[in-house]
Amino acid sequence: MKVFKFGGASVKNAEAIKNVGSILLRYERDPIVIIVSAMGKTTNKLEEVLSHWASKNELKFNHTVDELRDFHNEIAGALFHARHHKVFNFIDERFESLKNRFDRPLAEHLPFEYDQIVSLGEVLSSFIISEYLVELGLKARWVDARTLVRTDNRYQEGNVQWEKTEQLITECLPGADKETDKWVTQGFVGHTAEGFTTTLGREGSDYSAAIFAYCLNAEAVTIWKDVPGMLNADPKYFENTRLLTAISYREAIELAYFGASVIHPKTIKPLQNKGIPLYVKSFVHPDEPGTVIHAEGSKDHLIPSFIVKKKQCLLSISATDFSFINEESLSKLFEVFYAFRVTVQLMQNSALNFSTLIDPQKVDVHELIQALSPAFTCKYNLDVELVTIRHYDEDTIEQVLAGREVLLEQRSRQTARFVIR
C-alpha cells in the first residue's frame, strides 16, 4: 500500500485534476490511499463564510457561498459530461445545507463551528476526484476520513488519538472489497468521540497522509507538489536553488522547524517511527525523482539550506526594576508566552536583557507587551528578517548578509541564524 497526497494547488481547477488522473493512471494496479486537500483557495473562502456568519452579514455570506458553489460546479462541469451525474447533486446538497446554517445561532465556541464549516472543502474535493477516477476506469472509492481519524475535542487543532485511529483505519481499509484499489479521502479532517468533525490545523493534509501511512504500515508516502522536490531555498528569494535529493527525517524536521514551508512539521514523526520513506515529487514532471526523506543522513551536510522569515518582530525585554534576567524572571516570561501561544523562534539573553523573535502575524505584539507590564519593559523592532543557514560556510554567510545590518546572531555547528534588516 502506498499513500499519495495532492495539495490544494494540484487540484485547483479541472486541468489540474485531469493531471492528477493521469498520474494515477500510471499506477493503475497499485493499491493507493489518496489524500486530497480542498481545491485552490477554498479553505480561505470557507473561513470568510464563517466570519460573515459570525458578523451576521447575510449578503456577504450568501455571496461567498454562491462563489464557492459556482467554483465547484464549474470544475465538475468540465470533468463530467453527464448533467445528471451524482456529483452535481452532492455539491448542491452540501451548499444548500451550508446556506441554511445562517439562520441558526452560532455555537459559543467558534472553533467548533470553524471545523464543521471549513472541513467542507476537503469533503467536496475528495468526492469529485474519487468520482472522476471512476470515470477514468480506475477502481476508486470515496472514504470519509471524518469517521476514521479520531482526535480529542480541541477544535481547529485536533490531537490525534492514535490507538483508536489505527483501529478505525485498519477496520475500513483495504477491506474485503476486491473492487477497489484507490481509496480517496480527505486531508486535514478528523472527528471526536461524539462524532463531531475536527480539523488538524491549517496545511494539515500532509499530516493526514502520515497518519494513514502509519496506521496502514504503508511502503511509502508521496507528496505531489508544484516544485521539483525539497529545494535548499525558496525560489521566491534566492536564485540558483538546488534540489535536496535525499535528506534524513531529522534534517527534514529541522528545516520545517526553522520555517521551510514544503511539508507540514508534524508529518515526519509518524513516518520516522515506522521507517516509512517520504517522497516529495513534482506533479508537473512526475518522472523526475524529487526528494526522498528517510532514515539515512549521509548527504545532509552537502548542500547549505537557506530559510528566510520576513516581517518578524524582535522583542527586547528587561525587568522594570533593573533586576537580572534569571531563572525566575524567565519562567514568568515563558508563562506569558505560553498563555499567548507565542512561538519563540529564537532567544538570547544578557544580564539585564532578554531578546526573542516572534511572528506578529500570529500574536498581537501590543497585547503581549501589555501582559508583560508592569514587571517588564519591552522595546521592539517590527519588520526584521530571520535568516537561517543550515550547513553554512563563511562564503554563504557573507553572500546572505551583504549590505544588511545584523541585529542578532547565533551559530551552532550545523546552523547559523541572523536577525537582519
43 binds, among Mg ion, ligand ASP, none (CB under 5 to 8 A by kind): ligand ASP
Taking the complex as a whole, the smallest distance from the CB of residue 282 to Mg ion amounts, in Å, to: 16
204 binds, among ligand ASP, Mg ion, none (CB under 5 to 8 A by kind): ligand ASP
Which DSSP symbol is given to 158? P
6 in Cβ contact with 226 (< 8 Å): no
**The three three-digit cell numbers of residue 112, written as one number:** 467548533
- Name the residue nearer to ligand ASP (CB basis): 224 or 337: 224
Stretch that binds Mg ion, among 29-37, 299-307, 330-338, 350-358 (CB under 5 A): 29-37
87 in Cβ contact with 76 (< 8 Å): yes
Spell out the residues 6+ positions from residue 88 whose beta carbon is closer than 8 angstroms to its own. 73, 76, 80
For residues 4 and 319, what is the distance between their CA atoms, to the nearest angstrom? 52
121 binds, among ligand ASP, Mg ion, none (CB under 5 to 8 A by kind): ligand ASP
Does position 7 interact with Mg ion (CB under 5 A)? The reply is: yes
* 174 phi and psi angles, rounded to 5 deg: -75, -15
147 in Cβ contact with 186 (< 8 Å): no
| Subset of 161-190 contacting Mg ion (CB under 5 A) | none
Among 3, 8, 151, 277, binds Mg ion (CB under 5 A): 8
Name the residue among 120, 109, 128 with its Cα closest to residue 47: 120
For residues 418 and 421, what is the distance between their CA atoms, to the nearest angstrom? 10
Positive or negative, the CA dihedral 147, 150, 152, 154 is negative
385 in Cβ contact with 417 (< 8 Å): no
- Name the residue nearer to Mg ion (CB basis): 197 or 208: 208
- Name the residue nearer to Mg ion (CB basis): 61 or 283: 283
Task: State which amino acid sits at residue 395.
Answer: D
- Name the residue nearer to ligand ASP (CB basis): 131 or 203: 203
For residues 235 and 227, what is the distance between their CA atoms, to the nearest angstrom? 10
Taking the complex as a whole, the smallest distance from the CB of residue 145 to ligand ASP amounts, in Å, to: 12
- Name the residue nearer to ligand ASP (CB basis): 187 or 304: 187
Taking the complex as a whole, the smallest distance from the CB of residue 8 to Mg ion amounts, in Å, to: 4
304 binds, among Mg ion, ligand ASP, none (CB under 5 to 8 A by kind): none
Positive or negative, the CA dihedral 250, 255, 259, 261 is negative
Taking the complex as a whole, the smallest distance from the CB of residue 391 to ligand ASP amounts, in Å, to: 28
278 in Cβ contact with 293 (< 8 Å): yes
Taking the complex as a whole, the smallest distance from the CB of residue 38 to ligand ASP amounts, in Å, to: 4
- Give the number of other Cβ atoms within 10 Å of residue 44's Cβ: 13
Taking the complex as a whole, the smallest distance from the CB of residue 225 to ligand ASP amounts, in Å, to: 12
- Name the residue nearer to ligand ASP (CB basis): 188 or 354: 188
Taking the complex as a whole, the smallest distance from the CB of residue 9 to ligand ASP amounts, in Å, to: 9
- Name the residue nearer to Mg ion (CB basis): 14 or 39: 39
Does position 304 interact with Mg ion (CB under 5 A)? The reply is: no
Does position 121 interact with Mg ion (CB under 5 A)? The reply is: no
Taking the complex as a whole, the smallest distance from the CB of residue 368 to ligand ASP amounts, in Å, to: 25
For residues 402 and 405, what is the distance between their CA atoms, to the nearest angstrom? 9
192 in Cβ contact with 153 (< 8 Å): yes
187 in Cβ contact with 263 (< 8 Å): no
Does position 40 interact with Mg ion (CB under 5 A)? The reply is: no
Does position 228 interact with Mg ion (CB under 5 A)? The reply is: no
- Name the residue nearer to ligand ASP (CB basis): 158 or 204: 204
* Site of interaction with ligand ASP (CB under 6 A): 7-8, 37-38, 43, 121, 187-188, 202-205
**The three three-digit cell numbers of residue 163, written as one number:** 490507538
Taking the complex as a whole, the smallest distance from the CB of residue 266 to ligand ASP amounts, in Å, to: 11
Using CB under 5 A, list all residues that contact Mg ion. 7-8, 37
